[in-house]
Structure 1
Amino acid sequence: MSTTRRQVLSGAGALGASIVFNGALAELFAGTAAARGHGGYGPLVPDPEGLLDLPRGFRYRVLSREGRPLRSGEGRVPSNHDGMAAFAGRGGGVVLVRNHENRPRSRVPVPRIEGLTYDPAAEGGCTALVLDDRGAVVSERVAVAGTAVNCAGGPTPWRTWLTCEENEDRAGTRGYTKDHGFVFEVDGTDPRRTGAVPLTAMGRFQHEAVAVDPRTGIVYETEDAFERPFGLFYRFLPARPLGGRGSLRAGGELQAMRVPGVADLSGIRETGARFDGVSWVPVPDSQARETPIRHQDFGRGGITHAQKLEGCYWGGRSVYFVSSFARVDDGSAGTHFGQVWRYEPDRRRLTLVVAFGPGTDVQLPGESPDNICLAPGGGLMVCEDGSGSQHVYGVTRRGEVYALARNAQDTGTPGDPEWGEFAGVCFSPDGETMYLNCYTPGTTFAVTGPWH
């Protein structure tokens, strides 16, 4: 989370606001059992260790902490833990692939490893943790290095991770020796199979997250731009759809979404608002050689923008994506504290299904959804990335909100407390364990308990 983002939210008076979820939440979840009480697991219990507050009956294990030695001996665990995915490993184990959103002069850079480093001047990348069938870490190593500001990404149907650079600096900027703003494919089981090769055809822009349609292989991408004109929502049509590991290197066509009559999604406030006839416009210059993509001329009808496009995931027959917040003062068409949008490719239909906003329940301070995922048994898990206390919230399909976790690691001062954001929420293939990152100090947790 950037200082700018915290300042923006604090300036908007978001501190202490509550999350209000509205809309047709039932379409997000299928088959979940009715939750007890208010849809949650009871109040959060302060952690005597001062790391992670959870409801009674839940427990956590710390899998990894920034600054500690990597088990591979390659150096130290890098800082700024961000997006993450969990894949089935051998013998019932799990492979976690974890982003490190490092900028120049980060606390702990990703170690540069020969054959896995794209730009020796960049400090971001990914690490991979291998867990055995009991959940114990048996391996931790660098998976890709020399990339910049690896924020989020997404898993592929062939069990690799697409890590995204939230950066579009050119070679020669900030000391970088190569252009940035790309997606990289990472094989957490054997990183050398994928190496450090940018998937240039997927565009050069401030990537945030991706989601792959498992039926067609189309990849959807969000752009988290920090100033006007704000980011776009993209789709990539691969030349070799569903071709397996390495197939995305074959290229394809990048397109941007155009919603009829809507120039800025932030101006839409009514949950359930639906737009048919969504079209996709070829990107004039996907490499942004002269002009960033969001500034390019998309011809008659223009293109649809949105502030703070972040999380992206596939569910059922639809892709969902998140706008973390928007402010009129920043140049957006409207102010909100978070949106979840659903795009149905078969119907070419876009629907606002969840709206976050300031509310009245001071017991649920929340704002600014970021990383987001569906729990295996039903329900939505949201990582909070705002000011004040930081939580992971759950949402039932009835729209009930509950706090599942709270960051107890206060990195501020007695008069000015500070808590790092949560990121990378995901579940083990068997649905029994939730994995979660604290951005700073970089910490990866495994959470188990009496899941509904």
Structure 2
Amino acid sequence: MPASRRDFLRTSAAYAAGFAGLRSLVHPSLARGDALLGAIGYGELTPDPSGLLDLPAGFSYRVVSRTGDAMDDGLLVSASPDGMATFAGPDGLTIVVRNHETKPGDAGPFGENYERLDKIALDRLFDDGAGRTPGVAGTTTFVYDTKRQRVVKQFQSLAGTERNCAGGPTPWGSWVTCEETTDTPGNLLDASDDFTLVKEHGYCFEVPATAEPRLADPTPLVAMGRMRHEAIAVDPRSGAVYETEDLDESGIYRYLPDQPGKLVAGGQLQALAIRGQHALDTRNWESHAVSVGDRFEVDWVDLDHPESPDNDLRVRAFAAGAARFARGEGMWYVGEDQTANSEGAIYFACTSGGIKRIGQIWKYTPSRSEGQPGERSEPGVLELFLEPNDSRLIENADNLTVAPWGDLVVCEDRQGDVVRLVGVTPTGQCYTLAHNHVQGEFAGATFSPDGSTLFVNLQTAGMTVAITGPWRG
């Protein structure tokens, strides 16, 4: 963020007190109303007659995909849509790659009794479940016409994986999808003995963004680590890939590919450490170790044996001095042309971080020599960007993306009568973009390449919606 933000935070007590007072009025309740932030947000929300999604005046939504919809390949849209990203397609169309955080027993692509399993070759599944009960998560892709606001086609694009939660787009036109599980054969969580696994889970997979129906090669990116993955982001300058882990005590990771752009070719996995502070606990749970605006120089700790059969990457990382985070979740690269300064950055959410355990958002600015010997003398910098500790502002930040006008758009991951999409300005001000009334999380917020359409999932309801209106920028 611009230096002016830090100056305000550190040198103007009067401003800070007044700003805190303003923030306490931003969301006087979880009911409607953002009038005080009309200048930075989109004004008061209008109640939806259908009781699904409240939006600002002038905005509208349509449900474009639902769990159980028949797709063009004869398979069905799986339940629990989660992380997504968009890509420019042919003829001005938009390609959307979408995760499904499903587990064995959930509604999947093959039907309730796997009656559609014959529509797919078993060798295109990562885990075929011994030919009986393959993984029902993976990814689907839909092609969208933003001018006509309609789906052109949709199809399964990765199959046989479990609990594909978030992920991230790459600069070379693919989606990296992440399994949020470390299930193994004989140790299957949240399912009965009727389900079979034949492979270990907990990996990332790369899915090409294509408008033509086909399944991605289900090759796990083993060198990126086996863990309860959440999201990734790629620094296009260095090719480094950053990863979050969804546990109460988790690490933040970096993967340096041997060949930038070819993740499957191998590389070095590392964990983030704060220079001069061994195993710093950033969660602020037991003690207030980090304040908003604090900046830390970063070192990276090498991790061997990324396949981690004992699921101990974070344990080994902490022993080597890596920092502790609270449920790392959404992560997104914000480019140089999308910020108020000349540097790109990685933003990521820690869903249960902070004194009140309702979330933090962090910013990592890579070194100009990221992943190279020169970064030792000019390290990357980590900053606590936001820790509101006020549920009226934002509660349990999860997936996030960057809007065309430069703000973050953050999905709340919680239950309640009203759950929000929240905008966050580069100076840390929060405003509400939408409320859902399905009593479950928003997930996968992402804008179309032309900036006209915000796609987001209502995970519990199994819906993907497209939101349009007078967006800025």
SS of 1:256 mapped into structure 2? strand
Pick closer, same or farther for the CA change 1:423–1:391 going to 2, 3 Å: same
Does 2:336 match 1:323? no
Matches within 5 A, 1:198-277: 198-226=220-248, 230-242=249-261, 247-260=262-275, 261=277, 262-267=279-284, 268-276=289-297
Partner of 1:382: 410
Amino acid paired to 2:429: E
Q: Which of 188, 209, 214 is residue 209 of structure 2 equivalent to?
A: 188
4+ residue segments displaced more than 3 Å: 19-22, 107-112, 190-194, 397-400
Partner of 2:436: 407
Does the CA-based 8 Å contact 2:37-2:43 persist in structure 1?
no
Greater gyration radius:
2
SS of 1:161 mapped into structure 2? strand
Amino acid paired to 2:382: L
Instruction: After TM superposition, give the deviation of residue 335 of structure 1 in Å.
Output: 4.2
Instruction: After TM superposition, give the deviation of residue 304 of structure 1 in Å.
Output: 1.2
Residue deviations 1:375-404, cap 9 Å, x none? 011211110112312110112334432211
Instruction: After TM superposition, give the deviation of residue 50 of structure 1 in Å.
Output: 2.6
Provide structure 2 residue ranges, at least 5 long, that are not aligned to the other structure. Answer: 1-19, 24-35, 112-116, 129-133, 189-195, 337-343, 368-378
SS of 2:138 mapped into structure 1? strand
The answer to which structure has the higher helix fraction is 2
Does the CA-based 8 Å contact 2:231-2:244 persist in structure 1?
yes
SS of 2:124 mapped into structure 1? coil
SS of 1:295 mapped into structure 2? helix
Pick closer, same or farther for the CA change 1:336–1:217 going to 2, 3 Å: same
Amino acid paired to 2:256: L
SS of 1:426 mapped into structure 2? strand
Does 2:370 match 1:356? no
Pick closer, same or farther for the CA change 1:401–1:303 going to 2, 3 Å: closer
Q: Which of 132, 154, 171 is residue 185 of structure 2 equivalent to?
A: 171
Does 2:359 match 1:367? no
Distance in 2, Cα, partners of 1:105 & 1:382: 29
Partner of 1:151: 165
The number of aligned residues is 393
Pick closer, same or farther for the CA change 1:135–1:390 going to 2, 3 Å: same
Return 80-89 or 316-325, whichever deviates more: 316-325
Pick closer, same or farther for the CA change 1:384–1:191 going to 2, 3 Å: same
Does 2:160 match 1:131? no
SS of 2:404 mapped into structure 1? coil
Distance in 2, Cα, partners of 1:373 & 1:356: 19
Amino acid paired to 2:105: R
Does the CA-based 8 Å contact 1:21-1:399 persist in structure 2?
no
Instruction: After TM superposition, give the deviation of residue 216 of structure 1 in Å.
Output: 1.2
Distance in 2, Cα, partners of 1:21 & 1:185: 44
Instruction: After TM superposition, give the deviation of residue 109 of structure 1 in Å.
Output: 4.9
Normalised by the length of structure 2, the TM-score is 0.78
Does the CA-based 8 Å contact 1:110-1:126 persist in structure 2?
no
SS of 1:146 mapped into structure 2? coil
Amino acid paired to 2:99: N
Pick closer, same or farther for the CA change 1:21–1:254 going to 2, 3 Å: farther
Provide structure 1 residue ranges, at least 5 long, that are not aligned to the other structure. Answer: 1-18, 23-34, 328-333, 410-418
Pick closer, same or farther for the CA change 1:37–1:289 going to 2, 3 Å: closer
Instruction: After TM superposition, give the deviation of residue 84 of structure 1 in Å.
Output: 0.4
Instruction: After TM superposition, give the deviation of residue 80 of structure 1 in Å.
Output: 0.2
Partner of 1:106: 106
Residue deviations 1:333-366, cap 9 Å, x none? x54321111122213211111112126xxxx464
Normalised by the length of structure 1, the TM-score is 0.82
Partner of 1:140: 154
SS of 2:183 mapped into structure 1? coil
Partner of 1:93: 93
Partner of 1:341: 362
SS of 2:283 mapped into structure 1? helix
SS of 1:102 mapped into structure 2? coil
Pick closer, same or farther for the CA change 1:264–1:191 going to 2, 3 Å: farther
Pick closer, same or farther for the CA change 1:344–1:378 going to 2, 3 Å: closer
Pick closer, same or farther for the CA change 1:433–1:204 going to 2, 3 Å: same
SS of 1:201 mapped into structure 2? helix
Q: Which of 164, 171, 174 is residue 160 of structure 1 equivalent to?
A: 174
Distance in 2, Cα, partners of 1:85 & 1:39: 25
Amino acid paired to 1:169: D
Amino acid paired to 1:220: Y
Instruction: After TM superposition, give the deviation of residue 144 of structure 1 in Å.
Output: 0.6
Amino acid paired to 1:205: M
Instruction: After TM superposition, give the deviation of residue 184 of structure 1 in Å.
Output: 0.5
Does the CA-based 8 Å contact 1:100-1:110 persist in structure 2?
no
Structure having greater relative contact order (Cα 8 Å, sep ≥ 6)? 1
Distance in 1, Cα, partners of 2:470 & 2:107: 36
Residue deviations 1:295-344, cap 9 Å, x none? 22665x522111110111112322121111137xxxxxx54321111122
Pick closer, same or farther for the CA change 1:284–1:123 going to 2, 3 Å: same
